Chain A
Amino acid sequence: MDDRDDKFEQQFKKGALEMVLLALIARRRTYGYEIIQQLGKIGAPLFSSTREGTLYPLLYRLEDAGLVAGELEATPGGRAKKYYRITEAGRAALKRRRAFWLMYKGCIDSILEG
């Protein structure tokens, strides 16, 4: 794979990861480490290398846009854990993005296979 292929893949992953995060948080309230673990399991091989430096800036963008809400909670061990839950605006955005994705996928598939 040359550099151009690598950039092409990075751009795709970056664009899709925001939607993937919304989908994961829509399933249930979750926190950063759990998201990284989920991406490692069900997001392999595309998103298994996602780390904090990629995840948190995207979560901030979603949080600042009002699509997810972060809540700091104390654990029984006395530590603070930050949970993310989807908001109503987030559910609506996910619905729109999913519809766009299906349309996009269908269009590209028909071009590539035609």
Chain B
Amino acid sequence: MTKQQYVRQIVGRIHANAGTRRRIRTDLLAGIAAKEEAGLTMEQIQAEMGSPEKVAAEFNASFAGTSTVTWYRRQRIARTAFLVLVVLAVLVLLFSGLGMLAFLAVAGPSVGIIGGADGPTSVYVTGEVVTGTPSGGIALLLVLAGLAILCLAAWLICRNRKP
């Protein structure tokens, strides 16, 4: 295992927000570099420090009850909410799009009945039909997008928040 892989495996198991994880990553790499400079091989360093699980468990025990863990939890909640909202927005977009197609398929003949509406007039009539139908879907989409942006902002703030 290279030092980058070793450190990545440790940091991936630490329950701390992204800002603290970056800090730990930098310090672990600097610490390993100091050990290498002292003449230790990567195998010896890993044997001395312990398995990634063990090192991460020590960090987690030290961080228990601190604000780092609180920001980590908030970061995860905000990320999950953001992803759920994005999925919902995509579903709404998909279904309102399908609904619009279904509406046009049904309303199509009635547009045809108008007759004489060709060229710019038919475009105007079709435009009326399209903007009038999925307004509920668009409103829902806008609400979901707004909430998703808020969650994204919360996620980024919690990620980089210093304890």
Give the contact stretch, choosing among B55-63, B94-102, B133-141. B55-63
- Asked if B50 lies at the interface with its beta carbon under 8 angstroms from chain A, I say yes
**Inter-subunit contact A80/B59 (CB<8 Å):** no
- Asked if A15 lies at the interface with its beta carbon under 8 angstroms from chain B, I say no
Q: Which residue of A lies closest to B38 (CB)?
A: A33
**Bound-state Cα–Cα, A54 to B56, Å:** 10
Given the complex, which residues of B lie within 8 Å of A97, measured CB to CB? none
**Inter-subunit contact B33/A79 (CB<8 Å):** yes
- Given B33, B60, B66, which contacts A75 in the complex, CB threshold below 8 Å? B33
**Inter-subunit contact A32/B27 (CB<8 Å):** yes
Give the contact stretch, choosing among A1-9, A56-64, A86-94, A106-114. A56-64
**Bound-state Cα–Cα, A53 to B16, Å:** 13
Given contacts A60-B23, A60-B163, A64-B163, contact A33 B31 (CB under 8 A): yes
Given contacts A32-B27, A64-B163, A80-B29, contact A52 B58 (CB under 8 A): yes
**Bound-state Cα–Cα, A79 to B34, Å:** 8
**Inter-subunit contact A81/B30 (CB<8 Å):** yes
Instruction: Give chain A interface residues in 17-31, CB to chain B under 8 Å.
Output: 31
Instruction: Give chain B interface residues in 49-88, CB to chain A under 8 Å.
Output: 49-50, 55-63, 66
**Bound-state Cα–Cα, A32 to B56, Å:** 17
**Bound-state Cα–Cα, A77 to B30, Å:** 12
Count of CB-CB pairs between chains A and B under 8 Å: 71
- Asked if A103 lies at the interface with its beta carbon under 8 angstroms from chain B, I say no
Given the complex, which residues of B lie within 8 Å of A75, measured CB to CB? 33, 37
Task: Tally chain A residues at the interface, Cβ within 8 Å.
Answer: 21
- Asked if A105 lies at the interface with its beta carbon under 8 angstroms from chain B, I say no
Interface string of B30-44 (1 = CB under 8 A from A): 110111111000000
- Given A32, A33, A52, A82, which contacts B55 in the complex, CB threshold below 8 Å? A52
Given the complex, which residues of B lie within 8 Å of A56, measured CB to CB? 24, 27-28, 59, 62
**Bound-state Cα–Cα, A89 to B163, Å:** 19
Given the complex, which residues of A lie within 8 Å of B26, measured CB to CB? 72, 80, 82
Given the complex, which residues of A lie within 8 Å of B36, measured CB to CB? 79
**Complex A-B: 19 CB contacts under 8 Å:** A31-B30, A32-B31, A33-B34, A52-B28, A53-B56, A53-B57, A53-B59, A53-B60, A54-B62, A56-B24, A56-B62, A57-B62, A64-B163, A72-B30, A75-B33, A77-B33, A77-B37, A80-B30, A81-B37
Chain B contacts to A: CB under 8 angstroms: 20, 23-24, 26-31, 33-38, 49-50, 55-63, 66, 162-163
Give 4 A-B pairs besides A33-B31, A52-B58 with Cβ atoms closer than 8 angstroms: A52-B55, A64-B162, A79-B30, A79-B33
